[in-house]
Amino acid sequence: MELAAGIEVRVVSGGESARLMDFLHEHYYREEPLTLGTDPPQPDAADEAFLLSNIPHGTCLVALLGDRIVGAVVAGPKTADEAAHLFEDAERLKGTKWGRILSILAVAERDANVCARFDVERALHAHALGVDVSMRGRRIGARLMTELAALARRLKYPLLTVDCTSIYSARLVQQLGYELVNTIRYDSHKDSSGQPVIKPPAPHESLQTYALRL
């Protein structure tokens, strides 16, 4: 498929929350495996609020074709205590969709242990990556991740990390030279009654954490 020409990538501004969320509803949440693999189908308000809370850091990017958003990546800073915060939030929100999602993100963060593993005090973490359904396969996701790495370098982050919940995002960052740090198979992450917490459709089988030294 041909690469998308005339795409501009820029930082999301404070006044663009509603527009960004509309895009994420249409082109991210509907297919993102953790969202698909937990009930109910629509994202929790707490999940949406968390993503939007990253905008003030100046580390969220949109890809634009003219005025139209055709891709977005939501990213924010984290430090060594991130896993502890995620376990606390998962416990507090137990029984909700976002609580179930946080339970696997907490395990991913603990096991990847990126700050200790890469000997850094902080990292930029990409929380959500989405491309317009009609524009897939044109490397827009790769362009967003490349521009995010450049932005992170300018902001002096030593490391960029991402939990790839989708087989497509995992392939994409592999091609960009990210290092695979940890894999959690969805069927191995179980609740207290032994049932898998997240049941995404094929071909998604695992959450893979990747890192790029900057």
206 binds ligand ACO (CB under 6 A): no
DSSP state of 94: T
Cα distances from 7 to residues 20, 27, 67, 69, in angstroms, run 17, 17, 10, 10
Q: Which is nearer to ligand ACO, 91 or 161 (CB)?
A: 161
The least distance separating ligand ACO from the CB of residue 168, rounded to whole angstroms, comes to 4
Per the CB < 8 A criterion, the answer to whether 43 and 127 are in contact is no
The number of beta carbons lying within 10 Å of the beta carbon of residue 77 is 15
For residue 203, say if its preceding peptide bond is cis, omega within 30 degrees of 0.
yes
Among 128, 148, 160, 211, binds ligand ACO (CB under 6 A): 128
Q: Which is nearer to ligand ACO, 91 or 137 (CB)?
A: 137
Per the listing, tokens 């959450």 go with 207
Contact mark string toward ligand ACO, 151..190, x via CB under 6 A: -----------xxxxx-xx--x------------------
What is the distance between the alpha carbons of residues 31 and 37, in angstroms, rounded to a whole number?
10
What is the distance between the alpha carbons of residues 18 and 21, in angstroms, rounded to a whole number?
5
Q: Which is nearer to ligand ACO, 34 or 83 (CB)?
A: 34
Region near ligand ACO per CB under 6 A, out of 26-34, 44-52, 150-158, 179-187: 26-34
Q: Which is nearer to ligand ACO, 38 or 165 (CB)?
A: 165
- Give the angle subtended at the CA of 60 by the CAs of 55 and 64, to the nearest 5°: 120
Q: Which is nearer to ligand ACO, 79 or 175 (CB)?
A: 175
Among 20, 52, 142, 211, binds ligand ACO (CB under 6 A): 142
Number of residues that bind ligand ACO (CB under 6 A): 25
Q: Which is nearer to ligand ACO, 87 or 168 (CB)?
A: 168
The DSSP bridge partners found for residue 55 are none
137 binds ligand ACO (CB under 6 A): yes
Q: Note the Cα 120 to chain centre separation in Å.
A: 20
Among 78, 97, 100, 138, binds ligand ACO (CB under 6 A): 138
5 binds ligand ACO (CB under 6 A): no
Instruction: Please report, as a single letter, which amino acid is at residue 121.
Output: E
| Maximum Cα interatomic distance, the chain, rounded to a whole number of Å | 51
Q: Give me the residues that bind ligand ACO (CB under 6 A), please.
A: 1, 27-28, 31-32, 126, 128-131, 136-142, 162-166, 168-169, 172
